[in-house]
Chains A and B, each alone.
Chain A
Amino acid sequence: MTDTEPFNEMLGSDGEPRAPYKALADWFSGMTPAEMRRKSREAETIFRRLGITFAVYGTSEATERLIPFDIVPRVLAAAEWRRISAGIDQRVRALNAFLHDIYHRQEIIRAGRIPADLVVQNEAFLPEMIGFTPPRKVYAHIIGTDLVRVGEDEFYVLEDNTRTPSGVSYMLENRETMMRMFPELFQQNRVAPIEHYPDLLRETLESVAPETCDAQDPTVCILTPGIYNSAYFEHAFLADSMGVELCEARDLFVEDGKVFMRTTRAPERVHVIYRRIDDAFLDPLTFRPDSMLGVPGLFDAYRAGNVTICNAPGTGIADDKAVYAYLPEIIEFYTGQKPILQNVPTWNCARDDDLAYVLDHLSDIVVKEVHGSGGYGMLIGPTASKRELAEFKRRLKANPSNYIAQPTLSLSACPTHVASGLAPRHVDLRPYVLVGDKVRITPGGLTRVALKKGSLVVNSSQGGGTKDTWVLED
């Protein structure tokens, strides 16, 4: 761990509750431990009955689990949120401009601001997208920006999830559950509502319908890999709350360059697909011939401008961990402004100097796979055993360009319900951003919390939980 105490979001340095937490601190101090335990169990029952589960890969038993829900909300003041929100807005505009550029004239490479190899040698770069312009020049429509806080005014962006960020259903259900269990809290605090997220999502998706689409109301659908996918609950939840069909690949087909759904009556034209499957599985004709998941001909229909795929194929390069290191450059290049939100300093192990530093300081830093996600395949130096460190050293030397490294950040902590009462636990934040005819950011987002004392890993697949996240209105 780091030498200093982590920033405590509820208690200021004087031990008194910080302003946004005042009402909440009073409320929870009035609750007995027994009441808190009862409320916590009640919340769990609600989630289980509703079937709000996720699947954990690599376990045969109980493949559907609940993400633990913590009943103590995380609170952000209006001013804090304004800054975060401005920073995210700037970032997603820059990311979309970057995507458009690298699939067209590649000005940023010509200007020498980023190395060409970073793009063209990147696994996530999709040559099939070169020269194609999606409606409104938007590539990344649905983004989850992972943030961590280390001090009163210090936020860092950990990563920009521009492929198919998940978790938004937890954000919504967490709020529903809190409102059901603690209606009084919402009377005492002016909490910005988030329940309209599905409407915003549908507006966003409709706003990027193909320009050739003559329908008054474009038909939107969600494309899911199916019920065994870890985020299936969320796919169904979003389809239901937007009022659109939840399709598997076999429900869609392409004819005359257009996409249709197989319905109980005549086939129905589809204009916008919010896909929750990876690029590689979109279309077996263009990408993976062995894929059972794709829709043959989908990519051609897309390139013909007859259907919009959200997020666009080839968007993954924008959240590549090696590209991430260049985000400050990218933001400046396309917006002409300094980044509002900072990147975490990052060592790119493909560079010899960086690799040497990382190998020397392995026990102090965090190492991640360039294409990894979900907390799999990462090393947290300070808590790793000697054996793990040695093993990682071997892997790093064998394939350095597969890794990046970052300093161990002292993540802020929020009061969390544990066996002994309330105790601080480390948190991060994933706000959800929508980009279409305009940028729509839902106040708050999903707070993930590391439930184990001292742990910095908040991923649900690694024992993390979630909290309702409040943005207070002025």
Chain B
Amino acid sequence: MLGRTAASLYWTSRYNERAENMARLLEVGYRIAMTPRLGQDHSDDWRSTLVSAGCDGAFFAKYDDPSKRAVVQHMLFDRDNPSSVRSCIEAARNNARSVRTAITGEMWESLNTTYLEFLDIRPQHMTDNKLPDFLAWIKQRSMLFRGAMLGTLMRDAGYHFSQFGAFIERTDNTARILDVKYWILLPDNEVIGGDLDRYQWTTILRSVSAHRSYRHAYRDAQVRPFNVAEFLILRKEMPRSIAYCYDWIAESAAALAVRYHDSPVSCDMAQGTLSLLEDTSMDRIFQGGLHEFLTDLIGRNNALGAQLAADYHFS
């Protein structure tokens, strides 16, 4: 397999995952904007949506205020935002297009149809009443690609590069969502937590489609910040938790190493982060500092992506 092919499979999956995450973050932002806030607008909430999405830099280079309209425009349609849904869809398709020979027809058709239908969307027609359906559509299209990948792609190296990309992106997304609001998850808050805090905790769960599954995992009438953090970081039954993602990453890293009869650095790094997650507990994470933990994790995750590219000659 060409190194470039491996890179494109990795990035196709990463961008596909990112498009879905962007849609989910916007959904949550949109929901917050519907709740009344005494004496102030929602610009702080939109600001943290942008930070969670990693789009704040590109946004403030172009706009002054985070109004709903501007944020929606930026996160959905702006080409100068490399993480906008449009950019993600185009990047995923371009990557897939350059490795048409390495993906299945079903995978290609799902991306290509998404791309073609997205072309027909006019940003100025994206009114408030159409937005929820549109965001749901983006999520479904992304899941369709993922389903096509899981259901049709041969379980060879390409599959593992693809999985790698998806879970590196998902880890980054979940870690950022937690980090933007880490202070409201600190245990001290639990005692003094008012309605507003409780609302924020639920919001974090919604950002990863976990507000229902949380209820099943923790049979407790209260949403507790300690549990929310644990659910998203350490609980492996939660498919967007960091530990779950690293289970897959370590598995794909090991599968690639076996296939290539080699022990690449990326494999050790993946295993190292997985062990770290398995050997720790929320108490220890809080002791060392949640923010510090997440910052370290985001750094490790980025470094792993770079190491994978080096180990398998992505360019």
| Complex contacts, B2 vs chain A, CB 8 Å | 245, 247, 251, 261-264
Within the complex, what minimum Cβ distance (angstroms) separates B159 from chain A? 13
A232 in contact (CB, < 8 A): yes
Tell me, in angstroms, the Cα distance from A248 to B99 when the chains sit together.
11
Q: Are A51 and B112 in contact (CB under 8 A)?
A: yes
How many interface contacts (CB-CB < 8 Å) are there between A and B? Answer: 57
Residue of A with least CB distance to B100 = A236
Contact with A along B1-45 (1 / 0, CB 8 A): 111111000000000000000000000000000000000000000
Q: Are B100 and A240 in contact (CB under 8 A)?
A: yes
With most chain A CB atoms within 10 A of its CB, the pick from B4, B109, B313 is B4
B101 in contact (CB, < 8 A): yes
Residue of A with least CB distance to B161 = A264
| Complex contacts, A232 vs chain B, CB 8 Å | 97
Within the complex, what minimum Cβ distance (angstroms) separates B12 from chain A? 13
Q: Are A49 and B4 in contact (CB under 8 A)?
A: no
| Complex contacts, B271 vs chain A, CB 8 Å | none
| Complex contacts, B312 vs chain A, CB 8 Å | 264
Residue of B with least CB distance to A237 = B100
| Complex contacts, A338 vs chain B, CB 8 Å | none
Q: Which of A178-232 contact B (CB under 8 A)?
A: 226-227, 232
A250 in contact (CB, < 8 A): yes
> Can you show 13 pairs from A to B with CB atoms below 8 A apart?
A50-B105, A50-B109, A51-B97, A51-B112, A227-B97, A232-B97, A237-B100, A247-B2, A261-B2, A262-B4, A263-B313, A264-B3, A264-B260
Q: Are A48 and B116 in contact (CB under 8 A)?
A: yes
| Complex contacts, B94 vs chain A, CB 8 Å | 227
B157 in contact (CB, < 8 A): yes
Q: Are A227 and B4 in contact (CB under 8 A)?
A: no
B108 in contact (CB, < 8 A): yes
Q: Are A49 and B100 in contact (CB under 8 A)?
A: no
| Complex contacts, B112 vs chain A, CB 8 Å | 49-51
Tell me, in angstroms, the Cα distance from A389 to B261 when the chains sit together.
69
B98 in contact (CB, < 8 A): yes
| Complex contacts, B260 vs chain A, CB 8 Å | 264-265
Q: Other than A227-B97, A264-B5, give 14 A-B pairs with Cβ distance below 8 A.
A: A49-B112, A51-B97, A226-B98, A227-B94, A236-B97, A237-B100, A239-B100, A245-B2, A246-B101, A247-B2, A263-B2, A263-B313, A264-B157, A265-B260
B152 in contact (CB, < 8 A): no
Within the complex, what minimum Cβ distance (angstroms) separates B11 from chain A? 13
| Total interface residues in chain A, CB < 8 Å | 22
| Complex contacts, A264 vs chain B, CB 8 Å | 1-3, 5-6, 157, 260, 312-313
Residue of B with least CB distance to A252 = B2
Tell me, in angstroms, the Cα distance from A226 to B97 when the chains sit together.
10
B140 in contact (CB, < 8 A): no
Closest 3 CB pairs of A and B: A236-B100, A240-B101, A264-B312
Tell me, in angstroms, the Cα distance from A250 to B112 when the chains sit together.
25
Tell me, in angstroms, the Cα distance from A246 to B5 when the chains sit together.
9
Tell me, in angstroms, the Cα distance from A240 to B112 when the chains sit together.
17
Residue of B with least CB distance to A246 = B101
| Complex contacts, A50 vs chain B, CB 8 Å | 105, 109, 112
Tell me, in angstroms, the Cα distance from A255 to B6 when the chains sit together.
23
B113 in contact (CB, < 8 A): yes
Q: Which of A250-300 contact B (CB under 8 A)?
A: 250-251, 261-265
| Complex contacts, B313 vs chain A, CB 8 Å | 262-264
Tell me, in angstroms, the Cα distance from A146 to B118 when the chains sit together.
39
Known: A49-B112, A49-B113, A50-B109. A250 touches B4 (CB 8 A): yes
Q: Are A239 and B157 in contact (CB under 8 A)?
A: no
Known: A236-B101, A264-B6, A264-B313. A51 touches B108 (CB 8 A): yes
Residue of A with least CB distance to B113 = A49
Tell me, in angstroms, the Cα distance from A264 to B158 when the chains sit together.
10
Tell me, in angstroms, the Cα distance from A51 to B113 when the chains sit together.
9
Residue of B with least CB distance to A48 = B116
Residue of A with least CB distance to B109 = A49
| Complex contacts, A265 vs chain B, CB 8 Å | 260
Tell me, in angstroms, the Cα distance from A277 to B3 when the chains sit together.
21
Within the complex, what minimum Cβ distance (angstroms) separates B242 from chain A? 27
Tell me, in angstroms, the Cα distance from A251 to B157 when the chains sit together.
18
Tell me, in angstroms, the Cα distance from A250 to B6 when the chains sit together.
14
| Complex contacts, A51 vs chain B, CB 8 Å | 97, 108-109, 112
Tell me, in angstroms, the Cα distance from A260 to B29 when the chains sit together.
50
